[in-house]
Copies of this chain bind each other. A is one copy, B any other.
Amino acid sequence: MFSEVDPRSPTPLYDQIASRIRIAIAAGDLVPGRSLPSVRHLASRLRVNPATVVQAYRALAADGFVEMRQGSGTFVCEVGTGRKESERSAQARQLVRGLLSEAARRGLSAGDVAAAFRAELGSEVE
């Protein structure tokens, strides 16, 4: 689970760490209330600086995935998979807006993106 990390990847270390945990929470592998490894434990296991793990945990806390309690530890929040629908849709719309502007920048129309979206998702979109 928190086994390894790639220092040579273009994606930052803290981002790799945060991503894995985020996915684990979304998938239900980490249930709400459960405590994450301590900053120092995870840091020594991954061979990175504790501050890097802090940065990852902080990013997760900013998104509401975890809660950091000084002296106690870092815990998975109630939200996770059951996050409020309005919040999810708002975030999704923001992502989509960014995609569309990026597509426009490259001279792609909304139709191009829509076609790619259908092709990529297949039947899931229905």
Contacts and interface: CB of A to CB of B under 8 A. Distances in A.
A28 to B, nearest CB: 11
Contacts of A102: 95
Nearest to A81: B107
Given A89-B119, A97-B120, A116-B95, A63 B110 contact: no
Contacts of A80: 107
A19 B105 contact: yes
A69 interface: no
Interface string A86-125: 0011011101110110111111111111111101110011
A5 interface: no
Contacts of A45: none
Interface of A: 18-19, 22-23, 25-26, 63, 65, 80-81, 83, 88-89, 91-93, 95-97, 99-100, 102-117, 119-121, 124-125
Q: What are the 7 tightest A-B residue pairs by CB atom distance, in nearest-first order?
A: A26-B107, A92-B116, A93-B116, A92-B112, A96-B116, A114-B125, A19-B105
